[in-house]
């Protein structure tokens, strides 16, 4: 397991009912194939050595002994392989017959986990043959005088990795009101495997996925579900081999019904462990649950580098059809939050500074939507363009055009002369294009907006986004401040997609303007333009590409990843787009800026949270302003 990833697979081979030797051979073939791929956890279906549909043949000693012989064959196939394997078979223990999952590693049987909930309805008659599994441990006989523990309360972990615990339940166990996996998770199991034989009927696949997804999410675990498939008897039903792998409620791999091949994925166990630390509602608060379990260790982690799919835009939905729906949901969240603030304060106007950039554009779109919700006249949205030393004709014209198309009140206040007088007052040479030169403009613009809001009984709507807060790319007590910040929970990569979605929805003249804004370089426009009148101060040349910083922010805050893991995943996500030196440069920069700029985040105004990552000091991210970044920088700089 490298960088916290565990390589898992569920395989539903074509079996022969009541032919353990044949089934063992096919399972061994799958083990060899998966070992070649570096799989560390491999799961086969319920009763996979015998076949699930044996009926009363389960009561025959010949079949039972054949299954034990087959288990010996499969166990031998795991020798020398760094892999934990689960196979299903009927097991006799203390004169009773159990439907079991056997855990195998390096030629040994680590233990048997019996099924707890035995269905006895419709086509299923398990209670006719098997007894219910119990937590009290017993010893089941193997061969050559060997025994293995049999208990529902068995956990399996890799040597040297006590936090990575794996537990097992069988088919029906997950369908009941209180699944055993809930208790296993509270005892520390971060991966649950389910050996299943779930027949296929209309609508069951969808319901099965909901059940497994919910359990994975509730238990904050990875869930590997392996379903019986080809070869089972079709006398009364059919099995489709609908294998599933979930991680914290999200589907990461699925075998389509009646398809062949393995269902494979790399699950981020490191993230799951970090998420459990973060959620203080998770786990058995009274303690002691894990003390009841038997723990079996085995060496099944490999040193192979993981190869997971890593999205370069984790804040933006991947599916084309989802983007429009997600965008409208986010815009409605922002608009309803702003509408609530207006209803509470009884404010008369919304005052917004419009720069012709993405953030202020999104804020204006949200404000218009909020006023529509409140049935307020959009003319009471006072949109100010405040051209200064760096304002270009393109951004100013887009600002005015957008105001006109949106039906808001457009106002222009030039700030150049006033800022020059301010420079005289404080003794600043305007030829010095330093922080004073830039920030004086930002602060004066904020003063205009604040005073205009006081004059009209309004609220200043903040435009800054989540990415800017993370990097501290805002002027303290300038654009850093507002009376309500509608974009503070929206990272820059998502801002672009929201504006693009609104362009598609609104169409016409608004669409043309929004598309040009999307095509404009991101800039605060605080430094003079070049000789051709184009933007000279380009934000991403100074602080780095926002797509990288958003990626780093998500992995750092939401996934809890260390610098080395973030760097490795960034190399996969941005392969062919950024070289290693560039990725490292901006990763180091991210940590430096994030830690040094916390003082700005500690006093930000109210704003709406729209996703799982937020930097509000009141609810989501609390960090002292003088916290040291030394540990993170040391790891990042040594990559």
307 Cβ contact list (under 8 Å, min separation 6): 266, 572
Q: Of 489, 483, 438, which Cα lies nearest the Cα of 467?
A: 489
* Count of beta carbons in the 10 Å neighbourhood of residue 534: 12
- Find residue 244's DSSP bridge partners: 225, 254
**Domains recognised in the chain with CATH numbers:** 5-279+291-298 (3.60.110.10), 320-637 (3.40.50.620)
* Predicted confidence (pLDDT) at residue 287 exceeds the cutoff of 80: no
Mean pLDDT of the chain, nearest integer: 94
pLDDT at 208: 95
* Helix/strand/coil (H/E/C) assignment for every residue in 477-531: CCCCCCCEECCCCCCHHHHHHHHHHHHHHHCHHHHHHHHHHHCCCCCCCCCCCCC
Whether 214 shows a pLDDT value over 90: the answer reads yes
| 67 belongs to the catalytic site | no
Catalytic residue among 93, 157, 171, 488: 171
Query: For 427, what's the count of Cα atoms within 13 Å in the CB-facing half-sphere?
Result: 0
Please determine, for residue 281, whether its predicted confidence score (pLDDT) is greater than 80: no
In which band, very low, low, confident or very high, does the pLDDT at 320 lie, cut at 50, 70 and 90? low
| DSSP secondary structure string for all residues of 109-160 | EEEEEE-S----STT--GGGT-----SS-EEEE-STT-EEEE-S-EEEEETT
- Rounded distance between C-alpha atoms, residue 99 and residue 46, angstroms: 8
User: Helices (DSSP H) in 346-415: which residue ranges?
Assistant: 358-373, 393-406
Based on the residue annotation, tell me whether 54 is a catalytic residue of this protein: no
Separation CA 164–CA 155 (nearest Å): 10
The separation between the first and the last C-alpha atoms of the chain, rounded to the nearest angstrom, is: 19
Candidates 115, 492, 496, 584; catalytic one: 115
| In contact, 103 and 88? CB cutoff 8 Å | no
pLDDT at 98 over 90: yes
**For range 452-459, the mean pLDDT:** 98
- pLDDT value at residue 283: 67
Task: Look at residue 321 in the predicted model and tell me its pLDDT.
Answer: 61
Its pTM stands at 0.92
Q: What is the mean pLDDT of residues 615-624?
A: 94
Q: Is 266 a catalytic residue?
A: no
pLDDT over threshold 80, residue 282: no
* Burial bucket for residue 627 (CB in 10 Å: 0-12, 13-18, 19+): exposed
Residue pLDDT, tens place only, 540-574:
999 999 999 999 999 999 999 999 999 999 999 99
What confidence score (pLDDT) does residue 22 get?
97
Res 133 pLDDT > 60? yes
Helix/strand/coil for 252 = strand
- The token pair at 37 is 């791929």
């Amino acid at each position: 397991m490298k960088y916290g990833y565990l390589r898992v697979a569920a395989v539903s081979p074509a079996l022969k009912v009541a032919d353990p030797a044949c089934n063992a051979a096919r399972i061994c073939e799958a083990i060899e194939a998966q070992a070649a791929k570096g799989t560390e956890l491999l799961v086969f279906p319920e009763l996979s050595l015998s076949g699930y549909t044996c009926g009363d043949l389960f009561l025959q000693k010949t079949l039972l002994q054949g299954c034990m012989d087959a288990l010996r064959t499969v166990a031998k196939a795991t020798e020398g392989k760094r892999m934990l394997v689960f196979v299903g078979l009927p097991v006799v223990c203390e004169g009773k017959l159990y439907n079991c999952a056997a855990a195998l590693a390096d030629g040994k049987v680590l233990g048997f986990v019996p099924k707890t909930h035995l269905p006895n309805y419709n086509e299923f008659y398990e209670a006719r043959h098997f007894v219910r599994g119990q937590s009290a441990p017993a010893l089941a006989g193997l061969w050559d005088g060997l025994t293995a523990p049999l208990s529902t309360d068995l956990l399996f972990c890799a040597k040297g990795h006590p936090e990575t615990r794996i537990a097992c339940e069988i088919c029906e166990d997950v369908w009941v009101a209180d699944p055993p996996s809930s208790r296993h998770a509270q005892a520390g199991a971060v991966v649950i495997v389910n050996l299943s034989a779930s027949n296929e009927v209309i609508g069951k696949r969808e319901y099965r996925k909901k059940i497994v997804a919910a359990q994975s999410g509730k238990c904050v675990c990875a869930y590997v579900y392996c379903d019986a498939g080809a070869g089972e008897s079709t006398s009364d039903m059919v099995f489709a081999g609908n294998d599933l792998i979930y991680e914290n409620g999200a589907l990461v791999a699925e075998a389509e019904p009646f398809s062949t091949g393995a269902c494979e994925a790399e699950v981020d166990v490191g993230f799951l462990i970090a998420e459990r630390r973060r959620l203080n509602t998770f786990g058995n608060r009274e303690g002691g649950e894990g003390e009841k379990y038997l723990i079996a260790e085995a060496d099944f982690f490999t040193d192979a580098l993981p190869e997971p799919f890593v999205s370069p835009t984790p804040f933006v939905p991947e599916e084309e059809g989802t983007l429009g729906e997600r965008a409208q949901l986010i815009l409605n969240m922002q608009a309803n939050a702003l509408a609530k603030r207006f209803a509470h304060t009884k404010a008369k106007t919304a005052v917004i500074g419009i720069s012709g950039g993405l953030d202020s554009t999104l804020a204006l779109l949200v404000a218009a939507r909020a006023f529509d919700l409140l049935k307020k006249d959009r003319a009471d949205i006072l949109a100010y363009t405040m051209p200064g030393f760096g304002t270009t004709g393109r951004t100013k014209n887009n600002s005015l055009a957008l105001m006109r198309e949106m039906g808001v009140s457009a106002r222009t206040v030039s700030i150049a002369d006033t800022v020059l007088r301010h420079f005289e007052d404080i003794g600043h040479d305007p030829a010095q294009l330093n922080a004073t030169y830039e920030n004086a403009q930002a602060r004066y613009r904020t003063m205009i907006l604040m005073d205009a809001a006081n004059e009209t009984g309004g609220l200043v709507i903040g435009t800054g986004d989540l990415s800017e807060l993370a990097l501290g790319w805002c002027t303290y007590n300038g654009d850093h401040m507002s009376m309500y910040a509608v974009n503070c929970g929206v990272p820059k990569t998502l801002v672009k997609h929201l504006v693009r979605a609104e362009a598609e929805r609104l169409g016409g003249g608004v669409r043309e303007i929004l598309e040009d804004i999307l095509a404009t370089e991101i800039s605060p426009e605080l430094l003079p333009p070049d000789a051709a009148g184009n933007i000279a101060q380009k934000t991403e040349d100074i602080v780095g590409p926002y797509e990288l910083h958003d990626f780093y922010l998500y992995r750092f805050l939401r996934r809890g990843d260390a610098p080395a893991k973030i760097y490795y995943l960034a190399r996969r996500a941005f392969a062919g787009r950024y070289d290693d030196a560039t990725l490292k440069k901006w990763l180091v920069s991210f940590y430096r800026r994030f830690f040094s700029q916390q003082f700005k985040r500690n006093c930000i105004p109210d704003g709406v949270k729209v996703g799982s990552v937020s930097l509000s000091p009141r609810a989501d991210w609390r960090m002292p302003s003088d916290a040291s970044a030394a540990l993170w920088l040391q790891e990042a700089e040594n990559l």
